[in-house]
């Protein structure tokens, strides 16, 4: 789920929705509104301002509402383990017991539950025999217990498809790097992210030789420019950037990970666009916010 959150931060449509809900849009923003902006607003109303807090705070407030089913299938749950000779209850056991009552049990609809201690003494057959004896004592309650309720679908769920984690991560890293270093060329971003190193090493060497020759006032005509390598890097980076755009814009419409093509009102493919200055501004604000939190701690 973490990348859904982070790709919403990159989405141009979601940025428009954030501004629309906060202060309204200027004329330039209105010209950029997508035809399905209402769908983006619905996602925004659920996910909120994803730049307002970091992921861990956001997920604490939003996770259950967005990604948890209302009632999940009840399952046996281990609350802790007492080692041989242990006398006192450990902190982890107390924590797990509290979490069970406050967080897990509400999600399964408060079903009839047996809480037991299970000494691990003897073989598995003997231990299971004791469990059966305990269940036999409550056989009447078990027979008369209500049927298990079907698992409700969450409001949002990750799509099951062939979009690989590597594509998602690299696409995200490229956009952040491009925003953070606006003067970088594609091959420089590739070097920073260690992509296509066979090609980038040739480009890097050429650029170093060109810079050295220029500094010494020498001609650079004799240097071999790795044009094919640069074309390959540009093509690879362009593909990742396109994937990042589709991941971000589909995420803003409640679908992730999804690289389905997007089309405008005239049926043409939307142009890839990222508001890099805004992304950089938000990154800087977040860095300042984190620094202030660290100082307070």
Q: Determine contact, residues 234/191, Cβ cutoff 8 Å.
A: no
Q: Determine contact, residues 276/184, Cβ cutoff 8 Å.
A: no
What is the pLDDT at residue 213?
Answer: 84
Torsion sign over Cα 289, 295, 296, 297 = positive
pTM score: 0.71
Burial of 168 (0-12, 13-18, 19+ CB in 10 A): buried
What is the pLDDT at residue 297?
Answer: 58
pLDDT in tens, the chain (297 residues): 789 999 999 999 999 999 999 988 999 999 999 999 999 999 999 999 999 988 888 888 887 788 875 556 678 888 888 888 887 777 888 888 888 887 777 667 677 888 888 888 888 888 888 888 888 888 877 777 766 665 567 889 889 888 899 999 999 999 999 999 999 999 999 999 999 999 999 999 988 888 888 888 877 666 678 999 999 999 999 999 999 999 999 999 999 999 999 999 899 999 999 999 999 999 999 988 888 766 665
Widest distance between CA atoms in the chain: 95
What is the pLDDT at residue 70?
Answer: 57
Backbone region of residue 163 per phi and psi (left: phi > 0; alpha: psi in -120 to 50; beta: other values): beta
What is the pLDDT at residue 114?
Answer: 85
């Amino acid at each position: 789920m973490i990348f859904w959150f982070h790709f919403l931060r990159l989405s141009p449509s979601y940025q428009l929705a954030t501004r629309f809900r906060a202060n309204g849009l200027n004329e330039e923003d209105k010209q950029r509104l997508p035809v399905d902006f209402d769908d983006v607003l619905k996602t925004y109303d659920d996910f909120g301002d994803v730049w307002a807090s970091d992921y861990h705070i956001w997920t604490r407030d939003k996770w259950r509402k967005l990604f948890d089913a209302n009632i999940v299938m009840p399952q046996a749950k281990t609350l802790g383990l007492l080692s041989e000779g242990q006398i006192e209850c450990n902190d982890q056991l107390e924590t797990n017991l509290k979490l069970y009552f406050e967080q897990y049990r509400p999600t399964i609809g408060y079903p009839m539950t047996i809480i037991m201690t299970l000494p691990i003494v003897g073989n598995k057959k003997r231990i299971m025999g004791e469990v059966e004896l305990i269940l036999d004592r409550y056989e009447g309650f078990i027979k008369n217990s209500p049927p298990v309720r079907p698992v409700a679908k969450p409001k949002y769920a990750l799509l099951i498809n062939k979009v690989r984690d590597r594509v998602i991560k690299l696409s995200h890293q490229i956009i952040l790097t491009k925003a953070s270093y606006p003067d970088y060329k594609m091959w420089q971003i590739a070097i920073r992210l260690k992509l296509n190193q066979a090609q980038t090493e040739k480009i890097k060497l050429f650029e170093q030789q060109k810079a050295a020759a220029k500094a010494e006032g020498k001609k650079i005509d004799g240097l071999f420019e790795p044009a094919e390598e640069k074309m390959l890097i540009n093509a690879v980076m362009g593909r990742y950037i396109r994937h990042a755009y589709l991941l971000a814009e589909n995420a803003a419409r409640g679908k992730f990970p999804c690289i389905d093509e997007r089309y405008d009102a005239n049926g043409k493919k939307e142009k890839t666009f990222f508001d890099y200055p805004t992304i950089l501004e938000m990154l800087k604000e977040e860095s300042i916010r984190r620094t202030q939190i660290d100082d307070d701690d």
